Amino acid sequence: MARESESGLPIEPVYGPDALAGWEAAEKLGEPGSYPFTRGVYPTMYTGRPWTMRQYAGFGTAVESNARYKQLIANGTMGLSVAFDLPTQMGHDSDAPIAHGEVGKVGVAIDSVDDMRVLFDGIPLDKVSTSMTINAPAALLLLLYQLVAEEQGVPADKLTGTIQNDVLKEYIARGTYIFPPKPSLRLIADIFQYCKAEIPKWNTISISGYHMAEAGASPAQEIAFTLADGIEYVRTAVAAGMDVDDFAPRLSFFFVARTTILEEVAKFRAARRIWARVMREEFGAKNPKSWMLRFHTQTAGVQLTAQQPEVNLVRVAVQGLAAVLGGTQSLHTNSFDEAIALPTDKSARLALRTQQVLAYETDVTATVDPFAGSYVIERMTDEVEALALELMGKVEELGGAVNAIERGFQKNEIERSAYRIAQETDSGERVVVGVNRFTLDEEEPYEPLRVDPAIEAQQAERLAKLRAERDQAAVDAALAELKKAAEGTENVLYPMKDALKARATVGEVCNALREVWGTYVPTDAF
């Protein structure tokens, strides 16, 4: 029976040399570490060292998350990845009425520099690489991190890590936006400029397709809409007067890894090839590092099931293998119990052990680009690339990513894909082990990790203490300077840092910007 890929492309039962027609040109495939980077961004890939093993973690209070980070580091994690709670992601303090019931639930609550100090207590920030999944208020969290590093005596030019800082995908698929697109893009350009001058080793943005995939995007949609967002960010920075080679080497991407190994490998190869061509030909980048699409991968949480959760261990191993074979630079493997609740210590450790088995017990790290020359992989790479370019062309016809977002184009396309997946699952055409095939009459009991609801009151007490102790006049003056900068053209990160150093809260800083820039209200669908 004929099968289709996740992007709706046919998968043939057998591929032969005829499948390679059209890609024989040496420039199209190239060598690892060379343009167009189809075979990977580095010449040696994992033969020299494995990918960075990150584990995404954060819940409850900064104290609890700090303890989890120290456990992960002790177990061999190479880089930290911080999850923030919903109020922090939306720029609200924990004691704001809108935050009620969400404090510490899906990540750690960070209200001020006091919380950030506790979060990284005892963790040397010049020795770890830290990724922070934060978007609309990304500048604030980065500056809080820098302030804590300065307290540790670590200079900013020694800091390494990434802020997600990808607000365009929030309008498309996730919803944790604050400001309208234009001031949001201005803020991102300010971050690019600030980091070039102050934190040069920091990855200033992680342009994300992961959340689009979790919302139902196909692999081709995932890379098409992500790369279209990337093009918008580059155009914004260039329009702000920056040279493309001054910031492009610090751009990074964030993709999903599904259980469909072959198409995922093809997707990563296609994405690298498209981005290299765009950066060299459209933007005229001269530095080869500007052509590289470097990316972090997270295994597909949307594919995990609450039914028979231990089966998720197998799914995550397969997904992680897809990411490694696709040439990821860093990887987070989900815990098997994440479809139920926050991961326990044991399940988080097992997720990390999954990566360690792939790195040290398999032979996939023994050679660069194991799938190079595979008839099926090269054919699927061409097909995914062609479909992605078609979608990117439609975004361009609408005037670019922002205009397409305002028309609801990407969101509508993703929703169609999600509906197709739901239909296939409901009909049984798409097999989900333990859900519509191979089910149990009765599920075994499982005790998940729960967040203490008292955390909200504890954070409110910390905020009350902070406001009583700080120099309120200094906070007010700093916030006034921030609003003045937001009204003009000055880089807002410098007065923002002053306000945070004076112990202004995340909510107060975001509210000051809301007064100037307003908030985003989504439009009707395309």
What CATH number is given to the structural domain containing 382?
Answer: 3.20.20.240
11 touches 344 (CB < 8 A):
no
How many domains are there within the chain? Answer: 1
Q: d(Cα 137, Cα 511) in Å, to the nearest integer?
A: 11
Asked whether residue 442 is assigned to any structural domain, the reply reads no
Q: Based on DSSP, count helices (H) and strands (E) in the chain, helices before strands.
A: 21, 11
Asked whether residue 493 is assigned to any structural domain, the reply reads no
DSSP element (H, E) containing 53: strand 52-57
This prediction's pTM: 0.92
191 touches 493 (CB < 8 A):
yes
Question: Which pLDDT score is estimated for 355?
Answer: 97
Sign of the Cα pseudo-torsion (166, 40, 159, 114, in order)? positive
Nearest of 375, 463, 356, 460 to residue 114 by alpha carbon = 463
Asked whether residue 422 is assigned to any structural domain, the reply reads yes
State the Cα angle at 125 between 121 and 130, rounded to 5°.
100
Question: Which pLDDT score is estimated for 341?
Answer: 86
Return the percent helix, strand and coil in the chain, to nearest 5: 50, 10, 40
Q: d(Cα 94, Cα 86) in Å, to the nearest integer?
A: 10
Domain extent for 278: 38-427
Nearest of 323, 422, 382, 307 to residue 21 by alpha carbon = 382
Asked whether residue 368 is assigned to any structural domain, the reply reads yes
Tens of pLDDT, residue by residue, the chain (526 residues)? 568 999 999 988 887 777 776 545 445 678 999 999 999 999 999 999 999 998 888 888 999 999 999 998 999 887 898 999 999 999 999 999 999 999 999 899 999 999 999 999 999 999 999 999 999 999 999 999 999 999 999 999 999 999 999 999 999 999 999 999 999 999 999 999 999 999 999 999 999 999 999 999 999 999 999 999 999 999 999 999 999 999 999 999 999 999 999 999 999 999 999 999 999 999 999 999 999 999 999 999 999 999 999 999 999 999 999 999 999 999 999 999 999 988 888 999 999 999 999 999 999 999 999 998 899 999 999 999 999 999 999 999 999 999 999 999 999 999 999 999 999 999 999 999 999 999 999 888 877 777 788 999 999 999 999 999 999 999 999 999 999 999 999 999 999 999 999 999 999 999 999 999 999 988 755 4
Asked whether residue 239 is assigned to any structural domain, the reply reads yes
Asked whether residue 448 is assigned to any structural domain, the reply reads no
**What DSSP character marks residue 443?**
P
Nearest of 259, 357, 362 to residue 316 by alpha carbon = 259
Asked whether residue 505 is assigned to any structural domain, the reply reads no
Asked whether residue 437 is assigned to any structural domain, the reply reads no
pLDDT tens digits for range 443-471? 888 777 777 889 999 999 999 999 999 99
Question: Which pLDDT score is estimated for 136?
Answer: 97
